[in-house]
Structure 1
Amino acid sequence: MAGIPAILPAGLEPYARSPDFTPENLPVKLQAAHATKAGAWGLLHVLSGRVRYCLEPPDAVEVIASAGEMVVIEPQVAHHVSFVEPGCFFIEFYRAS
């Protein structure tokens, strides 16, 4: 893997959405290494504040997204998230149509 994709691949459709997460309700599971299932893509939408999205080693790539920005989450790629600045985000899940 060369890094975090800038956009979702063509042909995906949304199928689920997480609740809105804030520093007060961000699950510990999301702050530790985890991954989506095979075929499940995610799109992290930052509504306010700043969020750090980190790929786990061996990739060890990190991006900080601010309000209005999105981060693509690839299937089966271990990652974790944290707040850099308090705010709110949600994750929209996609799969092939």
Structure 2
Amino acid sequence: MALPVQPYRSTPIFDEDTLPQALRAGHNTKAGVWGVIRVLEGELRLTYLEDPPSEVLLTPGQPGLIRPQQPHFVTPLGPMKMQVDFYDQPPTV
């Protein structure tokens, strides 16, 4: 049985005050890099800018998957804590 894919890097844990402006504005991961946004407390809106444009509500039970080079940004919805895990192959979410 294959082991679950492990992240090669994770961001610090951010809250609604420490979430960097760069993550609140449109950005994307590099080629070959997947991201998984994990909400530890509260709620966060994930906005995909392309492929197709859409919004997803992220909660502690509902992480958000970012495909390589997929433009997106996040918006805190009140008090929250979140972290992003980065993978070099498709993660299991």
TM-score between the two structures when normalised by the length of structure 2: 0.84
Supply the distance in 2 between the matched residues of 1:67 and 1:30 (Cα, whole angstroms): 19
Q: Comparing 51-60 with 71-80, which one deviates more in the overlay?
A: 51-60
Note if 1:40 corresponds to 2:54: no
Runs of 4+ in 1 over 3 A off after TM superposition: none
* 1:51 maps to amino acid: L
The 8 Å contact of residues 39 and 82 in structure 2, kept in 1 or not, is answered as: yes
The 8 Å contact of residues 53 and 62 in structure 1, kept in 2 or not, is answered as: yes
Q: How far did 1:86 drift?
A: 1.2
Greater share of strand residues, 1 or 2? 1
Supply the distance in 1 between the matched residues of 2:61 and 2:11 (Cα, whole angstroms): 17
Equivalent residue in structure 2 for 1:90, among 83, 86, 93 = 83
Supply the distance in 2 between the matched residues of 1:57 and 1:40 (Cα, whole angstroms): 17
Structure 2 counterpart of 1:5: none
Q: How far did 1:57 drift?
A: 4.3
Q: Percent identity?
A: 35
Supply the distance in 1 between the matched residues of 2:39 and 2:29 (Cα, whole angstroms): 19
Supply the distance in 1 between the matched residues of 2:41 and 2:18 (Cα, whole angstroms): 15
Structure 2 counterpart of 1:62: 55
3-state secondary structure, aligned to 1:29: helix
The 8 Å contact of residues 33 and 68 in structure 2, kept in 1 or not, is answered as: yes
* 1:25 maps to amino acid: T
The 8 Å contact of residues 16 and 78 in structure 2, kept in 1 or not, is answered as: no
Supply the distance in 2 between the matched residues of 1:58 and 1:36 (Cα, whole angstroms): 14
Query: Structure 1: which 5+ residue stretches go unaligned?
Result: 1-10
Q: How far did 1:69 drift?
A: 2.2
Equivalent residue in structure 2 for 1:24, among 14, 17, 34 = 17
